[in-house]
Chain A
Amino acid sequence: AQSVSQHNHHVILSEAASLELGCNYSYGGTVNLFWYVQYPGQHLQLLLKYFSGDPLVKGIKGFEAEFIKSKFSFNLRKPSVQWSDTAEYFCAVNQAGTALIFGKGTTLSVSS
């Protein structure tokens, strides 16, 4: 069965620290990969996505993710986090036209 695994349940960082959130998936065939973010009190928003091409994807607010096909991974990175990055982050995967399969999410807390 297809699945998505997020390595960290809760990450606590100080402002300006670097961030890397792990995501691995188990899915045969060609996949689309996504990171969604949910800020406190807000709905799920798309952070970035990978469909094809350059495996290094840049998203909004300085986030980027790298697709490593051989490792079935799509890790999210940001060189310097801000207090406003406090949120829950979800990795998700699908095949064309199908529903998303989400990981359990990672809660990021950034202290100022």
Chain B
Amino acid sequence: DAGVTQSPTHLIKTRGQQVTLRCSPKSGHDTVSWYQQALGQGPQFIFQYYEEEERQRGNFPDRFSGHQFPNYSSELNVNALLLGDSALYLCASSLRQGSEKLFFGSGTQLSVL
């Protein structure tokens, strides 16, 4: 049973560029959430997708956008990258919307130079 998978594992970008991160949820899960984890900090909620729509959003600017596909996989897009966007981006899936138990992937380490 595959867990949550994310790609790529590492990424280096320069300021102003755009990036797309990908996530496949755990088998049987239909809800995907994205988190940003800065060094030494806890994960910060970006947004959650269910039934291909953004259902909830944390305190992140519109430069952060996402998408969920019919097979429940998801993408996180960040435009106009800033140095401060450097972080570990985590995808978490859950069995259904409203389920508190999250299953995390190993994350994508984004470095913005």
Chains A and B bind each other? no
**A residues lining the B interface (CB < 8 Å):** none
